[in-house]
């Protein structure tokens, strides 16, 4: 090996060593120093609280609006349509700031609860339309058969229509829930220190964007994957056909 080749090889080794050292120092500055990893955990907890509470409350609201519309009243239909159109036409960031600075500005309500209310209203509007479409897709003969067997209207809906509709709307709601999770990244506009805001705080202190942003993206990806897995399990429980399909996939493997 010539002297020039040896020097080149040694230079590459030194460069590689310097790269790993810089990465290690950057990781230490962003997460280890001043226990900044705790900021990520704190922001993650806030994001999970907002997402979980909004999904639960929003699902109840969506079902309530859907049933309210099914009463057949013109007034109920008009109110439901107005609510859905208003929320679907309002960007979530604008809704957050209206609730925080205008509607609930003088109540002293915690910003996290304001965010939960905003995302609940938004998710409820979209969810109610998804549920309504799925319920209307169930053949009318199912209801008539249940009534012919002696079931009441409420029993027919609960035992026959809604379970069949759930098989149709759950896969669509899965996408809405994941969108809600990702949408919570804007709550920093009302001074909530969620996952995205905490990574931005770290970035402002270290003047480095790589580790905070990449870590945030990976965490959101992991949360979305986990939510998709949970929704798939729920769908498998609700739909026997999905359960048999999963069984065939396992057998094929």
Q: Where are the domains of the chain?
A: 37-238
Cα-only R_g, the chain:
25
Q: What is the pLDDT of residue 93?
A: 93
Contact 242, 188 (CB under 8 A): no
**Domain 37-238 is of which CATH architecture?**
Orthogonal Bundle (1.10)
Q: What is the pLDDT of residue 241?
A: 64
| b/e 142-155 (16+ beta carbons within 10 angstroms → b) | ebeebeeeebeeee
- Residue 3: C-alpha distances to residues 8, 16, 101, 213, 231 (Å): 9, 20, 70, 43, 63
**The model's pTM:** 0.83
Q: What is the pLDDT of residue 251?
A: 46
| b/e 110-130 (16+ beta carbons within 10 angstroms → b) | ebbebbbbbbbbbbbbbbbbb
Q: What contacts 128, CB < 8 A, 6 or more positions away?
A: 61, 62, 63, 65, 66, 69, 80, 84
- Below-50 pLDDT ranges, the chain: 3, 9, 13, 249-253
């Amino acid at each position: 090996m010539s002297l020039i080749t040896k020097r080149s090889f040694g230079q590459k080794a030194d460069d590689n060593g310097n790269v790993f050292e810089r990465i290690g120092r950057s990781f230490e500055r962003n997460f280890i120093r001043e226990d900044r990893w705790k900021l990520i955990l704190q922001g993650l907890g806030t994001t999970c609280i907002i997402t979980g509470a909004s999904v639960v409350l929003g699902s109840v609201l969506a079902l309530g609006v859907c049933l309210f519309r099914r009463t057949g009243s013109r007034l109920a239909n008009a109110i439901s349509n107005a609510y859905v159109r208003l929320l679907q036409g309002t960007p979530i960031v604008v809704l957050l700031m209206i609730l925080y600075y205008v509607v609930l500005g003088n109540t002293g309500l915690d910003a996290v609860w304001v965010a939960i209310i905003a995302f609940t209203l938004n998710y409820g509007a979209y969810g109610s339309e998804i549920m309504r479409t799925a319920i209307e897709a169930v053949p009318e003969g199912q209801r008539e058969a249940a009534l012919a067997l002696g079931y009441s209207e409420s029993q027919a809906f609960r035992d026959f229509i809604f379970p069949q509709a759930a098989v149709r709307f759950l896969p669509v709601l899965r996408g809405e829930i994941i969108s809600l999770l990702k949408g919570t990244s804007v709550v920093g506009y009302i001074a909530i220190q969620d996952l995205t805001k905490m990574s931005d705080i770290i970035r402002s202190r270290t003047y480095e964007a790589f580790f905070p942003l990449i870590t945030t993206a990976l965490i959101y990806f992991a949360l979305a994957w986990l939510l998709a897995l949970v929704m798939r399990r729920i769908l498998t429980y609700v739909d026997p056909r999905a359960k048999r399909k999963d069984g065939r996939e396992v057998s094929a493997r």
